[in-house]
Amino acid sequence: MKRDFTQRFGFLLKSVGKLYSEEFDRLARARIGLTSAQFRLLGALAMHDDEQPLSQAELAQRLDLTPMAVAGLCDRMAAAGWIRREPSLTDRRVNKIHLEPSAEDALDTALSISDGLNDRVMAVLSQAERVQLLGMLARVRGSLMEITSGGEPKP
């Protein structure tokens, strides 16, 4: 018996994310040589406002990637001049990751690419539908965060 999963939330969300990521990769690689995974890493560093920089292990956890995958990303991004690694002063096994000034330009360009892609993708929705979709996804995300932290979602 053939089953149709195209209208199931998890499958649909994963499919949209995969298609969006592939198109962003294509556009960003062509313009600035940046992948969506690298953009996510730069974004995680840019959003982190604590005084202590993030370690590669902390980045792996935030990005839901393996430490080995993050190490490879960091290798390529350090070579491109977007980040720098500094050994931790308290643990020589740990590298702290810092954004380089050139990353700001890369982030700005990547955000511009993302904004253009968002406009194209969301063109099938009215402005009100766009706001509604983003609001509903934010609520679902909040519900999932509650569930995964051991709580119950708020209605």
How many domains are there within the chain? 1
pTM score? 0.78
Write phi, then psi, for 97 (nearest 5 degrees). Answer: -110, 130
What is the token pair recorded at 77? 């991004």
**Domain assignment of residue 118, yes or no:** yes
The C-alpha angle 148, 151, 152, rounded to 5 degrees, equals 105
28/138 Cα distance (integer angstroms): 26
**Domain assignment of residue 131, yes or no:** no
pLDDT digits 0-9 by tens, 39-74: 899 999 998 866 788 999 999 999 999 999 999 999
* pLDDT value at residue 140: 95
Domain that holds residue 101: 9-124
